[in-house]
Amino acid sequence: MSKLCIKVFLILLIITNLAACTSKSENTSKEISIERINKKITQVVDISELTKGDENKLDKLYGIKKENIEDFVLYLPPSNIEASEILLIKVKDKTSIDSIKEKIAKRVEKKSEIFKDYLPEEYYLVEKHVLESKNQYILFSIHKEGNKVQKAFDESF
């Protein structure tokens, strides 16, 4: 009887270990990337009115150099009378997150000054902006559906 108990215990131990290893590999297979986060955002928010920005725009508008980050996606309005922007950044080093967020905050201040007395609806969007970071990623969003952008970003992790 004791040999049977030992065998049952060993089988349960093996099954438990296999289950634990399987769940770990499932968590690591959920690879996070700019493309994945961007896809999730564009599935829930219409960005068809925005144009894609390049590294020159990233530097000009935010003062962020491409060599200081790993990857990014930038969406900008087609004209200067609209405030909407979405910026996703993957940093090379987590220690640079605060300095990059400061640069983005300066952009928010400038946009706020521009729209404050000029276009109240756009100013409202600027004031309700989203700026957050998770792991190596930073999200900045000025958008009428900013809460959906933020939720899509959060659900990517």
Same domain, 44 and 102: yes
Structural domain that includes position 70 = 31-155
CA separation (Å) from 62 to 9, 82, 89, 124? 61, 17, 12, 20
Instruction: Quote the longest CA-to-CA distance of the chain.
Output: 85
- pLDDT value at 24 more than 50: no
What are the residues whose beta carbons fall under 8 Å from the beta carbon of 119, sequence distance 6 or more?
81, 83
- Taking only the tens place, the pLDDT of each residue in 41-93 is 999 999 999 999 999 999 999 999 999 899 999 999 999 899 999 999 999 99
Same domain, 24 and 38: no
Give the three-class secondary structure for 75: strand
Same domain, 20 and 83: no
Same domain, 8 and 58: no
Same domain, 17 and 66: no
Q: What is the pLDDT of residue 30?
A: 55
CB 139 within 8 A of CB 130: yes
At 153, give phi and psi (nearest 5°). -60, -50
Structural domains counted in the chain: 2
Same domain, 131 and 68: yes
